[in-house]
Amino acid sequence: QVQLVQSGGGSVQAGGSLRLSCAASGYTYSNNCMGWFRQAPGEEREGVARIYTGGTSTYYADSVKGRFTITADNAKNTVYLQMNSLKPEDTAMYYCAARPYSTDDDCRRFGMKTFQYNTWGQGTQVTVSS
């Protein structure tokens, strides 16, 4: 059974940092398109960052560029989202998502479209206070 288990998150003051983790299991972890999304109350789910685990290509939403970093540790089947210089507007439920067995071109084509990702983590809350 394909599964993504998230950890990390919590509450922090503006300007602080948090790291989210997303561990994959239940399938042969090789070339994946992995993304981080977030959803604030009353808002649609939006893409934050994406990485292709079979290479080095990444993508960041303009709102987090320069502050967030997505990385993958393939030995641990885990993707991370390091969030620095957090702002109150970063407050949301954060989800990791995967589209296993993808190519880099697939990943670029998927972009941050939620329907392209077929496996989702359970979500973790990030709250940033001013």
pLDDT at residue number 1: 80
How far apart are alpha carbons 89 and 92 in whole angstroms? 8
pLDDT at residue number 28: 67
Which residues share a beta bridge with 125?
A: 93
pLDDT at residue number 123: 97
pLDDT in tens, the chain (130 residues): 889 999 999 999 999 999 999 999 887 667 889 999 999 999 999 999 999 998 889 999 999 999 999 999 999 999 999 999 999 999 999 999 999 888 999 999 988 999 999 999 999 999 999 9
Give the CA-trace dihedral at 1, 117, 125, 78, to 10 degrees.
Answer: 60
Burial 79-112 (b: 16+ CB within 10 A, else e): bbbebeebeeebbbbbbbbbbbebeeeebeebeb
